[in-house]
Structure 1
Amino acid sequence: MKTLSLTAWFWLTLAGYLAIAGGTGLAFAEETHIMIRARAVDAKFIGSGVGGMRAVVEDPKTGVILDEGEIRGSTGDTTLLMRTPPERGQQIATEATAGYLATVNIERPRLLRFRIWGPLGAHQSQQEAAVTSWVIPGRDIIGDGIIINLPGFIVDAWTHVSRDNQVHIHAKITMMCGCPIMKDGLWPPDRLEVKAILTQNGEKLREITLPFAGPANLFQGKTSIKEPGIYEIIVYSYDKTTGNTGANQTMVQIASE
């Protein structure tokens, strides 16, 4: 009967151990925490005020989800975020600032994708954004954590028709964090181009400007439609300075007399 040399025994033992470790995938895994936050472009953090955001941690190659949850909390400190430029290295999130503390068990440094979707309370304006980052086992990324910027506006549009076939168009528009658009505020309405595009059967008929109606977030305009039928109205908000853009569509039916 042959006996194994010490070297052969070592390599066989190591191979068996690695096979067991590889099978579980967690033999050397360490619990690692990552704070995920969503911030509206040119505004504050996105949190519970607009229904929160969905946060997902996944493998960018396989799509396997390692953790997921909801970003909840406040929009953050207005002065710190919007009025006082932070110094390099200064934390901009407070204890109450919206975030989701994800937990992953990883056995080696991994490149992970962090994906957000929402706002969950504004279905017509939901958007997605993602970023990838290396994560090291046991090396938490907390404090400000990973901040993902989400562009756009929350736009909610509706109409009503008066007896003379005047179509009155209304739009409530806020920043993605729910922050208000108002005169003399941090987000003044005169920076925005707000219009309604009237279409029928895929054909553009005209654009209608929607002036600010106040006191906050509300824009209104009207147009006359004489021909009976079903029309689509797409309301959009656009900020040339930041590129923030949002839109919402609604339908209107003009009855025959």
Structure 2
Amino acid sequence: MAKDAKFIGTGIGGAYIIVKNHDTQEVLAKGYTAGTSGNTDLIVTKPKVRYERITDDKTAKFVAALNISEPLLVDIEAIAPFNRKSAAIKATTQVWVIPNKDILGDGIILEIPGFIVDILSPTAHEVISFDSNQKKEVTLKVNMVMMCGCVIQNDGIWNASNYDVDAIVRKEGVQIAKVKLLKTTEDNVFEVKIPMKESGNYELIVTAFDNKVYNTGVNKINFVVK
């Protein structure tokens, strides 16, 4: 489950799950979660009640059937969202499994912190040229979603005002500026214009920070100005 959000399902590429025998590190089961991100009311907006499930039959999950004859300590690893390598985070836990005692209901939930931060502009290693009549500035445009793919909006359930999205600007490895990106009217999109006074090799480090639950995300890109 994404931190402060919903479950990581098929729509965002799923989570890759590995279950191992703790003592021998033998892989007992592996595969991807499949299903939906879940019911927003149950997971996010409705007050939690003890023993009440936050998943339903359609919610993304991975089911492992283990052939064991005695209690076994297992390591469980989740990498998610698996198809987004630049954003994927690994979470792990351990649990004793017991023969003929199924772990059902909500099962075992691993929380995946982070944001998926995609830099839309400039593109990777883009060469940006200015002529004498142009204003020398670069538009930094970022698309950011929760790890489950949930939408970030102004005044939405995942409210853009809760997030600080900043960019560190480096030229030839030296930091020259730090700027704040502003939420646009488009869902998930943040933007800022950055003055570029000199030619050279530049790096942008975009950071996202949630002031309510202290969630974090980062992405980086390099480009060239001529």
* RMSD, aligned α-carbons: 1.4
**Structure 2 length-normalised TM:** 0.91
Give CA-to-partner distance per residue, 1:127-178, whole Å, 9 cap, x none: 1001111100121112210000111111101323573331110111111110
Q: What's 2:197 paired with?
A: 226
Q: Secondary structure at the match of 1:80?
A: helix
Q: What is the distance in 1 between the residues matched to 2:7 and 2:52?
A: 16
Q: What's 2:88 paired with?
A: 126
Q: What is the distance in 1 between the residues matched to 2:36 and 2:192?
A: 33
One-letter code aligned to 1:217: N
- 2:62 is aligned with 1:100: yes
Q: Secondary structure at the match of 2:64?
A: strand
One-letter code aligned to 1:48: T
- 2:219 is aligned with 1:254: no
Q: 2:171 aligns with which of 200, 203, 215?
A: 200
Gapped regions of structure 1 (runs ≥ 5): 1-38
Q: What is the distance in 2 between the residues matched to 1:58 and 1:144?
A: 20
Give CA-to-partner distance per residue, 1:4-44, whole Å, 9 cap, x none: xxxxxxxxxxxxxxxxxxxxxxxxxxxxxxxxxxx111111
When the two structures are aligned, how many residues end up with a matched partner?
Answer: 217
One-letter code aligned to 1:221: V
Q: What's 2:103 paired with?
A: 141
Instruction: Determine if contact 1:56/1:69 at 8 Å carries over to the other structure.
Output: yes
1:184 Cα deviation from its structure 2 partner: 2.3
Gapped regions of structure 2 (runs ≥ 5): 123-127
Q: What is the distance in 1 between the residues matched to 2:28 and 2:60?
A: 21
Q: Secondary structure at the match of 1:138?
A: coil
**Structure 1 length-normalised TM:** 0.81
Instruction: Determine if contact 2:155/2:161 at 8 Å carries over to the other structure.
Output: no
Instruction: Determine if contact 1:182/1:188 at 8 Å carries over to the other structure.
Output: yes
One-letter code aligned to 1:214: T
Q: What's 1:109 paired with?
A: 71
One-letter code aligned to 1:184: D
Could you say which structure has the higher helix fraction? 1
Q: What's 2:5 paired with?
A: 43
Moved more, 185-194 or 197-206: 197-206
Q: Which has the larger radius of gyration?
A: 1
